[in-house]
């Protein structure tokens, strides 16, 4: 499935416009009721999130939406659970979905539970992933997120920290840690999802929710997925739901991730697919054919010395934004970023070449020069990463390119027949670490 962002559309819920997207066209509908902050544009920029949704879309029609008051939906009050259920029904009606499975993630869990209990005729199944029962820690519920006093302290500090880049995201995904790319993405997600005042209103509403009386009334097939070490929502939330929702299936996952779309994706998707279709999805293929694109700034060391650290960092950030914009345009999937270079994957070499040329032009507008290399070959799949000889060859091809040049391997040349892309023979090259010479071509 292509990485192109699905079209944003709007459903009318009373006086509110709710932004939504549809991914896939499988036989079962899934409404993904996500956690706290959402913005349809920004979420789609994160490769692990995008891949998770696309894999759901391989066996279902996935309906994504921004909550009222958030993201691309109308910036109104956060709304009650009842109003948010109206929004789900409005989105389902807009896409012609009579019945759907609801995935309730984190804070989205309580609303999904209430919907399933209130509208069983429209609910095929309920899937709860890291779902909350009650955020407020009280004597009869020690497994919430904070006490009332701690919550009020957090709200007092919210405006000051809302626009800041977090120091770590280990609380959501253990493997993310302090990755600068993900930290910057999450900071942008918060800012473009809601203002501090809107976020506080939403968080206050969420802190008041308690669905302990709702759970026993759920009568639809229910799957509960929860990581045993979840640092956002204590695992006892899931264990309580497993005991309380009649007939619920509970799968306790290893690790400490709160969201399912990163390191837990393979296991979570296999469980979800089997629960909804009866067919279990195995892990992603360990090897696949892919086109890799490497880009690298030319003369970056000298330029950094001329500008100084602060101005160079600002320029480098603009470079990263420009490259990512072109990757999105040409359906490229960002695999890795190291310093001033990018590794991206494409499902076809012609698209990779066109993206490379667009990147060269985009960074030229910033006064920067980039070189690029494109190669197609069999890659090893390591989670969201790619490895193997093909990746190594791609990097070596890029290293041979000159300023503003896009070099491609002979494999790529053989696969772009009919694309209209013109290539010039650059002769045989001995690529570092490879035994045989490779013929390279320049895209002109």
211, 111 in Cβ contact below 8 A? Answer: no
Assigned token pair, 238 = 């899931």
In a domain, residue 86? The reply is yes
In a domain, residue 282? The reply is no
Tell me the C-alpha distance between 430 and 439, whole Å. 9
Q: Checking phi first, is residue 133 left (phi over 0); if not, alpha (psi -120 to 50) or beta?
A: alpha
Q: Are residues 22 and 161 in the same domain?
A: yes
pLDDT in tens, the chain (444 residues): 334 689 999 999 999 999 999 999 999 999 999 998 999 999 999 989 999 999 999 999 999 999 999 999 999 988 788 899 999 999 999 999 999 999 999 999 999 999 999 999 999 999 999 999 999 999 999 999 999 999 999 999 999 889 888 877 888 898 887 888 889 999 999 999 999 999 999 999 899 999 999 999 999 999 999 999 999 999 999 999 999 999 999 999 999 999 999 989 999 999 999 999 997 755 555 777 889 999 999 988 888 888 898 888 899 999 999 999 999 999 999 999 877 899 999 988 999 999 999 999 999 999 999 999 999 998 888 777 888 889 999 999 999 999 999 999 999 999 998 888 999 999 999 988 777 889 999 998
97, 123 in Cβ contact below 8 A? Answer: no
**Domain boundary pick from 277, 298, 315:** 277
Look up tokens 């603009």; give the residue.
318
For residue 151, give the CATH number of its domain.
3.40.50.1820
The boundaries of the domain holding residue 142 are 9-277
In a domain, residue 2? The reply is no
Distance of CA 304 to the CA centre of its chain: 32
For residue 337, give the CATH number of its domain.
3.30.70.1230
Q: Where are the alpha helices (DSSP H) in 57-175?
A: 81-94, 108-118, 148-162
Assigned token pair, 126 = 């309920």
In a domain, residue 341? The reply is yes
Sheet containing strand 222-227, strands side by side: 9-13, 16-23, 60-65, 28-33, 100-105, 123-129, 222-227, 249-253
Q: Are residues 270 and 386 in the same domain?
A: no
Instruction: Tell how strand 438-443 and strand 406-409 pair up.
Output: antiparallel
Tell me the C-alpha distance between 408 and 422, whole Å. 11
Q: Does pTM surpass 0.85?
A: no
Assigned token pair, 196 = 């501090």
Q: Are residues 115 and 259 in the same domain?
A: yes
Tell me the C-alpha distance between 37 and 92, whole Å. 21
**Domain boundary pick from 220, 253, 277:** 277
Look up tokens 């195995």; give the residue.
282
Angstrom CA distances, 286 to 136, 254, 274, 385, 395, stand at 43, 21, 21, 11, 21
In a domain, residue 436? The reply is yes
End-to-end distance of the chain based on CA atoms, in angstroms? 29
52, 5 in Cβ contact below 8 A? Answer: no
Q: Are residues 252 and 364 in the same domain?
A: no
Q: Where are the alpha helices (DSSP H) in 119-226?
A: 148-162, 180-193, 196-208
Question: What is the pLDDT at residue 380?
Answer: 84
Q: Are residues 148 and 210 in the same domain?
A: yes
Distance of CA 81 to the CA centre of its chain: 25
In a domain, residue 1? The reply is no
Burial class of residue 273 in the structure, from the number of CB atoms within 10 Å of its CB (0-12 exposed, 13-18 middle, 19+ buried): buried
Tell me the C-alpha distance between 237 and 231, whole Å. 12
Question: What is the pLDDT at residue 2?
Answer: 39
Q: What is the CA radius of gyration of the chain?
A: 24
85: closest CA among 64, 121, 111? 111
Q: Are residues 125 and 212 in the same domain?
A: yes
Q: Are residues 235 and 273 in the same domain?
A: yes
**Domain boundary pick from 234, 257, 277:** 277
In a domain, residue 175? The reply is yes
Provide φ and ψ at 386, rounded to 5°: -120, 145
* Cα three-residue angle 346-352-353, rounded to 5 degrees: 165
Number of domains in the chain: 2
Q: Are residues 268 and 183 in the same domain?
A: yes
Q: Are residues 175 and 264 in the same domain?
A: yes
Tell me the C-alpha distance between 104 and 108, whole Å. 5
Number of neighbours of residue 370 by Cβ within 10 angstroms: 29
Look up tokens 């493997």; give the residue.
175
Q: Are residues 263 and 341 in the same domain?
A: no
SS3 301: helix
In a domain, residue 194? The reply is yes
Q: Are residues 332 and 357 in the same domain?
A: yes
Q: Which residues pair with 134 in a beta bridge?
A: 210
Q: Are residues 319 and 342 in the same domain?
A: yes
């Amino acid at each position: 499935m292509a990485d192109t962002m699905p079209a944003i559309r709007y459903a009318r819920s009373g006086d509110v416009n709710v932004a939504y997207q549809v991914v896939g066209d499988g036989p079962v509908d899934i409404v993904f009721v996500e956690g706290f902050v959402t913005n349809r544009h920004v979420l789609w920029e994160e490769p692990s999130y995008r891949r998770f949704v696309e894999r759901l879309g391989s066996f279902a029609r996935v309906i994504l939406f921004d909550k009222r008051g958030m993201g691309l939906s109308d910036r109104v009050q956060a709304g009650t659970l009842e109003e948010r259920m109206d929004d789900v029904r409005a989105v389902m009606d807009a896409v012609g979905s009579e019945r759907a499975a609801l995935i309730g993630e984190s804070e989205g869990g309580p609303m999904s539970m209430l919907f399933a209990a209130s509208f069983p005729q429209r609910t095929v199944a309920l899937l709860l992933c890291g779902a909350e029962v009650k955020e407020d820690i009280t004597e009869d519920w020690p497994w919430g997120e904070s006490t009332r006093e701690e919550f009020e302290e957090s709200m007092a500090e919210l405006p000051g920290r809302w626009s800041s880049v977090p120091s770590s995201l280990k609380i959501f995904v253990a493997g993310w840690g302090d990755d600068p790319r993900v930290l910057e993405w999450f900071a942008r997600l918060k800012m473009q999802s809601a203002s501090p005042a809107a976020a506080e209103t939403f968080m206050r509403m969420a802190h008041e929710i308690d669905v302990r009386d709702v759970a026993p009334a759920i009568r639809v097939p229910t799957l509960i997925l929860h990581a045993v070490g979840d640092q956002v929502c204590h695992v006892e939330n899931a264990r309580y739901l497993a005991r309380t929702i009649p007939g619920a299936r509970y799968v306790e996952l290893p690790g400490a991730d709160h969201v399912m779309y990163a390191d837990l994706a393979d296991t979570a998707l296999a469980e979800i697919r089997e629960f909804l279709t009866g067919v279990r999805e195995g892990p992603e293929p360990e090897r696949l054919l892919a086109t890799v694109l490497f880009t690298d700034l030319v003369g970056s060391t000298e330029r950094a010395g001329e500008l100084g650290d602060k101005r160079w960092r600002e320029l480098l950030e603009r470079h990263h934004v420009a490259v990512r914009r072109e990757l999105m345009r040409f359906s490229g999937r960002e695999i890795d970023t190291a310093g001033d270079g990018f590794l991206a994957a494409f499902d076809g070499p012609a698209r990779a070449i066109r993206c490379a040329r667009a990147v060269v032009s985009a960074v030229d507008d910033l006064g920067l020069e980039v070189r690029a290399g494109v190669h197609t070959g069999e890659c090893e799949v390591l989670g969201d990463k790619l490895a193997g000889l093909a990746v190594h060859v791609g990097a070596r091809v890029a290293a041979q390119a000159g300023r503003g040049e896009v070099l491609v391997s002979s494999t790529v040349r053989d696969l772009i027949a009919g694309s209209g892309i013109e290539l010039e023979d650059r002769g045989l090259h001995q690529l570092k670490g490879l035994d045989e010479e490779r013929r390279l071509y320049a895209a002109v």
